[in-house]
Structures are given as structure tokens and as C-alpha cells.
Amino acid sequence: MTTSIHSTESPETVVGFGFAEIAYLIRRFDTDAAKKSGQVLRLEAEVQSDPICVAGGSSLLGRGFASVDDDLELEGPAIPTAYALSKAYRWTEISLVDGEKTDTVVHVESDKVSLLMQPRTLGTWFVFAQQPDIDGADAQLSLIEEHTRTHPEGTAFIRVKSVSGEDHLLIRPDGPGWAVAKVVDPTTDVEETTGLDTSGLLARIRETRGETR
């Protein structure tokens, strides 16, 4: 099945999906990106489960996120969510640590739609649309800045993945600026760079994402 390029506008508000619904959306599309989405969201087994995916499709239908014609057709916020999961070229796991807990956000980026997905209780996911006038690196920086405003001692860890590889970056406040680090070799010390301003941090995030600007 191919992914429609029509009606891919991002959902305007937060939408919750159950894990069976997400598994069904991923399974609809036989793309390398869909397979990678299943891996990143840790739903590989669920995507391969007929009962789980049938339940997911049924749930979408019952909620008005799908309709029946000759086949089950996606509706509403399920359309851009499925598009992003099946067409993504970059996935970033953002771990926001405050000493007591870690909140995780998965940033899924495709050519037309980019989403921020947050795991919740019982395998549910909250899906937020990335504002189309903000690029991916700026969106990630905004999350990290908001986290450290709320938790001044908080840190962040981003793991950027593509179909073919991945990279990572450790981030922490450093006085009025930032420090970043990478684990190049697990047997050696972390290589840390300190004294970065916000522009310097953004540049390192872009580098980790495989971008040059």
C-alpha cells in the first residue's frame, strides 16, 4: 500500500493513540521508514501481530479516525500520523532528565509532516504537530531550553536515527551557556565541549542531525 500525499496537514492539537492503533498505522505501509518507525517506537512485535493490528484498526474506526469503503480508509489526525511514520527520514529520541525522572519525546520528521510523540501510560502515545514554520533543529532546541528553564539542573540526551545509522549528543547547562558531550569510545572518558552559547549548541544539534548550515 502506498501513502497518500493528500490531506497530510498536521493535527492542530494533541491527539492520543493507543499502541495497537500506532501498530496498525505502521503496518499499513511496506516502507523502510515504516519498519524503522516500528523499531524506534519499540513496536516491532506488535506490528507483526494480526490480533493487535486488527484491534488497532477497529479502534480507529470506532473513534472516527478511519472509515470503510473498499478498504479501511484513514481519516482526520490518523492521516498525517501515518504519513509521518511511513515516510520519515529522521527519528530523534529526546530524553529530558531532571534528576528524579526522565521524560522522552520522539521527534519523527518526514518531507511534509513532522510530529512530536510522547509515550504515556499503558502504551499510549500523545502526538503533537511540529509547527511548519520551525525547522527540526530549532524545535529540538526549544524543547531542551524549556526543560532547563523548568529544571535548571536538568540535562538532555538526543539520539538521532536514520534508516542507515545514528548519532547522539549529551547536553547540559554550563553556567550561562551549554556543555555537550559524546561517548566516542565506551572504554574511554566522555569527550565534552564547554562554554557554548545558544548558537553553538544549535550548531552541534544540527551536526548531530547530519545537517550543515
Cell readout for 62 is 470506532
Spans of all domains in the chain: 15-208
pLDDT class of 136 with cuts at 50, 70, 90: very high
Angstrom distances, CA of residue 47 to CA of 59, 197, 202: 15, 42, 35
Cβ density class 39-56: b for 16+ within 10 Å, e for less: ebbebeebbebeebbebb
How does residue 213 score in pLDDT terms, banded at 50, 70 and 90?
A: low
Q: CA–CA separation, 19 vs 42, rounded Å?
A: 10
Q: Counting Cβ atoms within 10 Å, is residue 125 exposed (0-12), middle (13-18) or buried (19+)? A: buried
- What integer is the mean pLDDT of 76-102? 95
pLDDT tens readout for residues 92-129? 999 999 988 999 999 999 999 999 999 999 999 999 98
The residues that bridge with 177 in the sheet, in sequence order, are 174
Please give the pLDDT value at position 3.
Answer: 42
User: Is-above-0.95 flag for pTM?
Assistant: no
Percent of the chain with pLDDT over 70: 92
- Nearest CA among 96, 88, 81 for reference residue 35: 88
- 56-72 pLDDT tens trace: 999 999 999 999 988 89
E strands of the chain, at which residues? 15-17, 66-68, 72-74, 90-97, 102-109, 114-119, 125-129, 155-161, 166-174, 177-182, 191-196
72 forms beta bridges with 68
Among 116-130, 156-170, 177-191, which is the least confidently predicted range? 177-191
Residue 191 has pLDDT above 60, yes or no: yes
